[in-house]
Amino acid sequence: QKEVEQDPGPLSVPEGAIVSLNCTYSNSAFQYFMWYRQYSRKGPELLMYTYSSGNKEDGRFTAQVDKSSKYISLFIRDSQPSDSATYLCAMSPPNSKLTFGKGITLSVRP
């Protein structure tokens, strides 16, 4: 079993839709959880960062962590064509390297 599993996609939604992206993990030592966004022909950039279980909101983006279920989600409200990108979840134990999911490609149709 891979340490981090991410829904494979791709995902295509109409503009304005609510998008839910999910990852599961197996390593109980993971304490830091991140979402990176990667536009075509670019490197990943950090979108959301959270440490504890619960929700963290930043504009149209909400990151949710459920450590008891080893499950994290990223919600995008009122999705825009500019949100079209690949989204990668990433996580790590304290003081250790990040492990990334394989990424899911999202396309938001105007």
Of the candidate residues 56, 60, 70, 102, the single one contacting other proteins (CB under 8 A): 102
Of the candidate residues 23, 88, 106, 108, the single one contacting other proteins (CB under 8 A): 88
Instruction: Determine the size of the site formed for other proteins (CB under 8 A).
Output: 21
In total, the chain counts a number of residues equal to 110
d(CA 63, CA 9): 19
| CA-based nearest residue to 9, from 97, 89, 77 | 89
Contact at 8 Å (CB) between 38 and 85? yes
Q: In angstroms, give the least distance from the CB of 15 to other proteins.
A: 27
> Could you report how far apart the first and last alpha carbons of the chain are, in Å?
38
With contacts defined by CB under 8 A, name the span among 9-17, 53-61, 70-78, 95-103 that binds other proteins: 95-103
Q: Does 20 bind other proteins (CB under 8 A)?
A: no
Which residues bind to other proteins, rule: CB under 8 A?
32, 34, 41-46, 49, 88, 92, 94-103
